[in-house]
Structure formats: C-alpha cells, structure tokens
Amino acid sequence: MEAACFEKTLGNDCNSNIRFYKLDGTCCFAPEALLSRAVLMSHEELTFRFGSSIIVIRGRNLEPIWSIAAEDRLMCVREIEEPADEKAPWVREIVFLDEGEEPDPLPFPTET
C-alpha cells in the first residue's frame, strides 16, 4: 500500500496545527490559526502563507488537499514517491520560504 500524501482530521474536529514532512526527514508545523492565505495556483502548485512564512506544495492533482484545507481539516502533508495511479494526489516537493523569498519556477510545463 502506498503512503498517502496528506491526512485530514476525523469527524468534525478542526485541526490546530498543520505538519509538513519532506522525504529527507525535514519537517515543520504551522499553527492553523496563523494561516492567512491558501492559494491553489494550478493542479500542480498550492501555496500556504503562515504569517511571514510561505510553504509551497508541488505535485499533481492537489485539489483534494486544497479542499481539506478549505474545511480547516488538513492535518499533515508529506512528500511521497510518485504513486502508480496517475489520478492520485502526489506531493512531489514541499518548499519552505521566508517572506520575500520567491520559489524557483516549476521545472516542468504546467497544464493549460
């Protein structure tokens, strides 16, 4: 069984922290209360702004993560190896940035 790239809280519980895990073992958490903006840039990029920090999620089919975040039920996001199912959500990369930093452009063409 493949690892899921995100988890949501169960039942009607709202989440207080969102955790982010990279394949290299780097992780961070951000209090959901500090989330000031979440933007689904495309099917391949999702950006979260927590105070002066920005977390960029890149991958494929990220809409389910966006939907769970909009419900205040996103518990964690993790980078995973590419799943065999091309329709499954895939978090290929998580980028941690401070305010004023810009992420590198996507290394592959985005869908039109």
Work out how many domains the chain is built from and give that number: 1
H helices present in 29-106, as ranges: 63-70
Cα separation, 23 vs 38, in Å, equals 23
What percent of the chain clears pLDDT 90, i.e. is strictly above it? 46
Q: Is residue 104 part of a domain?
A: no
Locate 15 and state its tokens. Answer: 């989440």
What confidence score (pLDDT) does residue 112 get? 44
Query: What's the pLDDT tens digit per position in 49-83?
Result: 988 889 999 999 999 999 998 888 889 999 999 99
What confidence score (pLDDT) does residue 48 get? 92
Whether the Cβ atoms of residue 33 and residue 16 lie closer than 8 Å to each other: yes
What confidence score (pLDDT) does residue 95 get? 93
Task: Output the pTM of the full model.
Answer: 0.81
Whole-number mean pLDDT of the chain? 84
- Predicted confidence (pLDDT) at residue 109 exceeds the cutoff of 80: no
